[in-house]
Structure 1
Amino acid sequence: MSHWIEDLLGVEAPSLLEHECRTIDQSRLSLPGPDFIDAVVTQSDRNARVLRNLSSIFQHGRLAGTGYVSILPVDQGVEHSAGASFAPNPDYFDPENIVRLAIEGGCNAVASTFGVLGQVARKYAHKIPFLVKINHNELLTYPTHYDQILFGQVDQAFDMGAVAVGATIYFGSPEADRQITEVAECFARAHELGMACFLWCYLRNSAFKNGTDYHVSADLTGQANHLGVTLQADVIKQKQAENNGGYNMVNFGKTSPLVYDELTSDHPIDLCRYQVACCYMGRVGLINSGGASSGSDDLVQAVRTAVINKRAGGTGLISGRKAFQRPMSEGVQLLNRIQDVYMDDNVTIA
């Protein structure tokens, strides 16, 4: 194993790198690998064009042919405001630099807005797979409200040469039913046109936060994942689980004691393993989000997240702010380090 991984993980290294999962055994999972699309996705109802476009993502960048993906997502200019997102590095107000970072960083794909990718489509759509994020949470309205609304049509993404679309659903929110209906229609159209579908399966409900933030609990995020794969998402994006017992805290909905007694433990890899299990036992890939940039420990946190995701049976990482809120050379290095985790054969499935 590369010693730098152990050095970065520090005192957590033995726990994260040597853990053996005794909850859901890896033999029960469909695991990432060079033959994942042939062995798993071709058994589904996805048409040949979806298989080709999904494969174009898995066969691009430094992780090409491994079954893992590293994606650069930059839609935070809408979700968090352009100022908050790009003031740390104003170069990224220019959409071309977003795509350049993804290319120079060896990413499998770049995920961004209709506006960003449309501006540079003719120059770059044939050089790196485009994943168009079709809905967003718009935060200029005051008082603030939280909702995912469509910013364009699936056919627009197809016309600019995108190979995939992405969408967010705030499961647990009052608007979730409408979002589910909208996204289901969009994904059906995207699949008809041959584009792959990525779903951000996020939770949003004030009742899920009570001292502890259960928006990142394994049981609730796992159910969000299960709803996402039911919508025929080809890849699920989810925040990595940090705790468990959200159902029991909220005292609403249905769960089973076996989820907590046998299918999970307090170990972060086991919590993430449950998230993978809820993605049809890995038949639909789970990518975890890289999270916000917190400064000097971004590299440590990114590598930690990648190790947990890989060892749990996940498919990769989608990391944005940690990469683009710093000089491009440093962003490239951070992305490469994430990818190095997935390329290291000694970081094994737990």
Structure 2
Amino acid sequence: MANSKITQLLGDKSEYLLNHVSKTIDKSLIHATGPDVVDNLWIDSDRNIPTLNNLQRLFGHGRLADTGYLSILPVDQGIEHTAGASFAPNPLYFDPENIVKLALEADCNAVASTYGVLASVARKYAHKIPFIVKINHNELLTYPNSYNQILFGTIEEAWNMGAAAVGATIYFGSEESRRQIVEVAEAFEYAHELGMATVLWCYLRNNGFKKDGVDYHSAADLTGQANHIGVTIKADIVKQKLPTNNGGFTAIKFAKSNPAMYDKLSSDHPIDLCRYQVANGYMGRVGLINSGGESHGASDLADAVYTAVVNKRAGGIGLICGRKAFQKPMNEGVKLIHSIQDVYLDKEITLA
């Protein structure tokens, strides 16, 4: 059983999550992470030596170093959600240095942010913590708002500031998704040539993904397929929202599906839903990190631990948590991230 702090935070969901045995995709089929993750999962790939070095930098830094798990601080919300809305709860983070300081204080594996944020402090910090430079963004000043990811810089810029990796978002399902797939695939290929790892935010955006009052943007079947496209364009790590439901394809009546996707490869248990996401990343060969999501105030700590437990037991490799951490005083943000890390350090919490 996990340590008492984790079980306490899980509350009445503790037994439901910690004692679950998955009867869908057996854990023996999952390429589980571990201390030798780069040797075990990447050494036979086409990734060049500098890229392997940078993957090892990511997995070898911070409090989770050499465990095979990642704890990443992402702060690109200044563009994605407007700076005022994102930093009003804690204006400290208008200053990029404090973003990096939070990642360092929390002993994260890496910090992910915009070209501007990371470039402004690169000479001071790029050698102290791995940088993940987010190369594209959605901007919210177009009126009416348009949800479209556009490139904000070049791969050379990220490489010149000493980044260990680049990150990008694709809005799968959107009108612009095909252009984004081509742009990001080309960018990732060049990043690999220069020796940087790649992280893909595999998000969904389409008003048609809402049906009869149910939002399927976080459905296991839709997000799983987004992950599968993401690994096809050679993302080394996939970021995805934790699935909250299933059956998007059948409800909306599009694409192709198979009844076994829902009754054999998954169930309504959150760990089984998340395992379906892992399976779509080549059975875990490409690691899944789930997002921490927006801040809800008092429940943030419990929500973050819940997500971490689901991700770990499903076969994921970590959490990327931003707003729940930086929209609080720094000491509280550090405490929250450490609680997430505690889940991945707890050897009693294993694959379901």
Counterpart amino acid of residue 307 in structure 1? V
Instruction: Spell out the pairing of 1:265-280 with structure 2 (5 A cutoff).
Output: 265-280=267-282
Cα distance in 1, alignment partners of residues 332 and 199 from structure 2: 27
Alignment match, 2:264: 262
Cα distance in 1, alignment partners of residues 250 and 338 from structure 2: 39
Higher alpha-carbon deviation: 313-322 or 30-39: 30-39
Counterpart amino acid of residue 309 in structure 1? N
Q: Secondary structure at the match of 1:20?
A: coil
Counterpart amino acid of residue 132 in structure 2? L
Specify which of 317, 320, 323 is matched with residue 321 of structure 1.
323
Deviation at 1:82, TM superposition (A): 0.3
Q: Secondary structure at the match of 1:167?
A: strand
1:240 aligns with 2:242: yes
Deviation at 1:319, TM superposition (A): 0.2
Deviation at 1:294, TM superposition (A): 0.6
Cα distance in 2, alignment partners of residues 203 and 32 from structure 1: 26
Alignment match, 2:42: 41
Counterpart amino acid of residue 198 in structure 1? V
Specify which of 327, 334, 337 is matched with residue 335 of structure 1.
337
Instruction: Spell out the pairing of 1:1-350 with structure 2 (5 A cutoff).
Output: 1-210=2-211, 211-350=213-352
Cα distance in 2, alignment partners of residues 120 and 98 from structure 1: 10
Cα distance in 2, alignment partners of residues 281 and 62 from structure 1: 26
Q: Secondary structure at the match of 2:71?
A: strand
Cα distance in 2, alignment partners of residues 152 and 342 from structure 1: 34
Offset from partner CA, 1:30-82 (integer Å, 9 cap, x none): 01101111011111100000000010010000000000000000000000000
Offset from partner CA, 1:82-133 (integer Å, 9 cap, x none): 0000010000000000000000001000000000000000000000000000
Q: TM-score, normalised to structure 2's length?
A: 0.99
Offset from partner CA, 1:279-321 (integer Å, 9 cap, x none): 0000000000000001000000000000000000000000000
Cα distance in 2, alignment partners of residues 226 and 100 from structure 1: 34
Cα distance in 1, alignment partners of residues 337 and 8 from structure 2: 18
Where do 5+ consecutive residues of structure 2 fail to align?
Answer: none
Where do 5+ consecutive residues of structure 1 fail to align?
Answer: none
Cα distance in 2, alignment partners of residues 250 and 46 from structure 1: 38
Q: Secondary structure at the match of 1:169?
A: strand
Counterpart amino acid of residue 185 in structure 1? E
Offset from partner CA, 1:198-234 (integer Å, 9 cap, x none): 0000011101112111000000000000000000000
Cα distance in 2, alignment partners of residues 349 and 184 from structure 1: 31
Deviation at 1:266, TM superposition (A): 0.2
Q: Secondary structure at the match of 2:43?
A: helix
Q: TM-score, normalised to structure 1's length?
A: 1.00
Q: Secondary structure at the match of 1:14?
A: helix
Cα distance in 1, alignment partners of residues 194 and 234 from structure 2: 15
Greater than 4 Å deviation, 4+ residue runs: none
Paired residues, number: 350
Cα distance in 2, alignment partners of residues 199 and 184 from structure 1: 10
